[in-house]
Amino acid sequence: MRLRERFEQLTPAGRKTVIWSVLGVLLITLTVTGYHARSGRKHDQADSAGRDLRLEEDLMEKTIFREHRRKLEDLEGLVTTMQRELDRVAKERAVAQESAAKKEPLPEIPDADTVARARESFPPPLPAAGMETPGLAVPAKERKKVGKITVVKNDTLAKDLGGQKRRTVYLPPSFMEANLLTGFDAATSGSSKNSPEPLLLRIKTPAVLPNDVKAELSGCFVVAEAVGRLDKERADVRLVSLSCLSNEGRAVIDTPVKGFVTDADSKVGLSGRVVSRMGAATVRAIVAGLFEGAGDAFKAAATTTSTSALGSTATIDSSQVGKSALGTGLSQGAQTMSDFYLDLVKQTTPVIEVGAAKKVTVIVSEGKELEIRDIRSEGLARHQPGGKR
């Protein structure tokens, strides 16, 4: 109450001064309080960032540890494989040494006296066919007869090699990166499905199989066929065959496969440029049609048509014979040219133009048993980088 009485006793100027002073004090107090609160929030944010940074450092350490662990496991697997290969080579070498030690000695060469005594003990030779020797019976060759068919055994026939077990490897559905070696122009007409465009692809990375397993198919060739699609402005590519050759040139894989090809945008088919060359032929066909119509008009102008109960009769005025001949010739010639240009238009349908050196992805859509064939002739292996010269 005293403060109120004192405030009421002040002059209007004094009251105004007191009010502004109180407002200034409140404003300063609010400013100081907000600054302290903001500093506290910044400190909390810094603490949380430090915790995040520490978490990220822990995560990086774990990731590095896992990577080193994986590399160590790969090295252990490689060492185990090499140790098995060394053991196998050592066993083969030991077997070869044992067989060489057990090899029979060479027979001794007989002297001249031994050869002469052996020659005297030989029986006399049999007479040739058609010659008879008195007192010497020639035994007839025995043959086994079954009904009317004589069974003769031929020991000179080649042995059947069809029963040999062939080496195979299974290729499940997979994908691999490749390069397009040949460009092509895929037709978009309906008849292009019967004659697709051939193309050649070269695989440049190992094939990725299910469960992150990889197969070394780098360098293999893939033959495919392409058909143009005007609605998508792309070329649909279907795989035909897969061909691989070993580094030494001793074995080869050449078998049909099923699959397709995707472009860099991961869409089925290869994107290309639509090229149409039918514009000039279409214009010429239209011009030929105009000349055909003009010829028909000349011919109709020189012809008089009369209709009676017996039917219609067309007569040509003697004074218009030249005009009628001109119209007939012009009409028939223009019709022939129109038919020619229409056939040309049908042949020059739009095509999808795809250039070479394009990076694509080859996808095998159906698993295939790949047969590994051994090359019997060394002519091809001799010229390979890993083969003997």
Highest mean pLDDT among 24-33, 128-137, 153-162: 24-33
Q: Kindly report the pTM of this predicted structure.
A: 0.46
Digit-coded pLDDT (tens) for 99-123: 776 665 555 666 667 767 766 665 5
Q: d(Cα 360, Cα 363) in Å, to the nearest integer?
A: 10
Burial (Cβ within 10 Å: 0-12, 13-18, ≥19) of residue 320: middle
Which tens digits make up the pLDDT trace of 259-278?
A: 999 999 999 999 999 988 77
Residue 272 DSSP label: -
How would DSSP label each residue in 233-246?
TEEEEEEEEEEEE-
Tally the C-alpha atoms within 13 A of residue 41's C-alpha that lie toward its C-beta: 6
pLDDT at 206: 92
Mean pLDDT to the nearest integer, 162-166:
55
Closest CA to 364 of 169, 168, 175: 175
* Residue 21: pLDDT over 70: yes
| pLDDT tens digit sequence for 186-234 | 988 776 677 899 999 999 999 999 988 898 899 999 999 999 998 889 9
Q: Which residue is it, tokens 């897969």?
A: 242
Where are the extended beta strands (E) located within the chain?
144-146, 149-151, 167-171, 174-180, 184-187, 197-203, 207-209, 213-215, 221-229, 234-245, 251-256, 259-262, 270-271, 273-275, 303-308, 311-316, 351-354, 358-364, 368-374
Interval 168-186: pLDDT, tens: 889 999 999 999 999 999 9
Phi/psi region, residue 354 (left: phi>0; alpha: psi -120 to 50; beta: rest), is beta
Please compute the mean of the pLDDT values over residues 343-351 and round it to a whole number: 79
Q: What is the pLDDT of residue 82?
A: 86
Q: What is the pLDDT of residues 348-368, one digit of tens each?
A: 788 899 999 899 999 999 999
Q: How far is CA 363 from the centre of its chain?
A: 6
> Distance between CA atoms of 296 and 327, rounded to whole angstroms?
6
The string of pLDDT tens digits covering residues 231-249 is 889 999 999 999 998 877 7
Distances (CA, A) of 150 to 173, 186, 318: 55, 63, 96
Q: Is residue 56's pLDDT more than 70?
A: no
